[in-house]
Chain A
């Protein structure tokens, strides 16, 4: 019962934040609602037994990445968007049925491959602590971990090169 209530509340909050994010005109409002969506996803990760991922979600995503976004929005003084163009009627006539068909196919796929009696309960999976994730990273996934650290190093150098001030 508690699981269902928490899932309904935070899942609904994530969807509402997502809708607000793509309908708001101002980038700051979009960024703040994205923080809300990420925070509610962190609660859902906790419900799924992923303690380490929930903490990383809050620290890396809602903390570091979104602060970077807010810095850039304020640095560039990004204002509200102009009025969007009216969508052409053919895009509406084709797009909305296409989206509905896609969701119907996806629902059919999920219903046929995932057993409906597999329930998610809080505490049903306890292998997501920092200890277990660390064991998996440094044993089974050591090579991907090292490769991705090189990727982050390259990204840092690329960001510095792209954003530096040209000296004459």
Chain B
């Protein structure tokens, strides 16, 4: 690969893509009923934020954004492990995965 090709992509395009993916994840978080799918929407939002971090890291020509993106990945892995364990426990106690039926805290 030559080090630089004539035409590039504007940085704003990457940020716009990141915003669209985040909005999709937020919309899915609000409209889906299945606990596992709601959880996957959170992962999509984290991914969108990672794209922003890496794009800004390119823009500033510094590696720091990659580090933040790496830490977000680690937090996502920890969150997935604990969250899926909680989902297992909810299913064991209530035998349902629908968020509408887990409403003990409702007045």
Chain A residues with CB under 8 Å of chain B are 1-4, 7, 11, 14-15, 18-19, 21-22, 27, 30-31, 34, 37-38, 41, 44-45, 47-50, 52-53, 56-57, 60-61, 64-65, 68-69, 72-73, 75-76, 78, 81-82, 84, 99, 102-103, 106-107, 110-111, 114, 116, 118-125, 127-128, 132-133, 136-137, 140-141, 144, 148, 151-152, 154-156, 158-160, 162-163
Contact = CB atoms under 8 A, between A and B. Distances in A.
Contact of A81 (B23, B33, B78): B33
Interface of B: 1-17, 19-21, 23-25, 27-28, 31-34, 36-37, 39-41, 43-44, 47, 50-51, 54-55, 57-59, 61-64, 66-67, 69-71, 73-82, 84-89, 91, 97-98
A123 to B, nearest CB: 4
A45 B82 CA distance: 27
A15 B20 contact: yes
B61 A127 contact: yes
A133 B63 contact: yes
Nearest to B20: A15
A132 B61 CA distance: 12
A25 B27 CA distance: 15
A18 B9 contact: no
Contact of B39 (A7, A69, A123): A69
B74 to A, nearest CB: 5
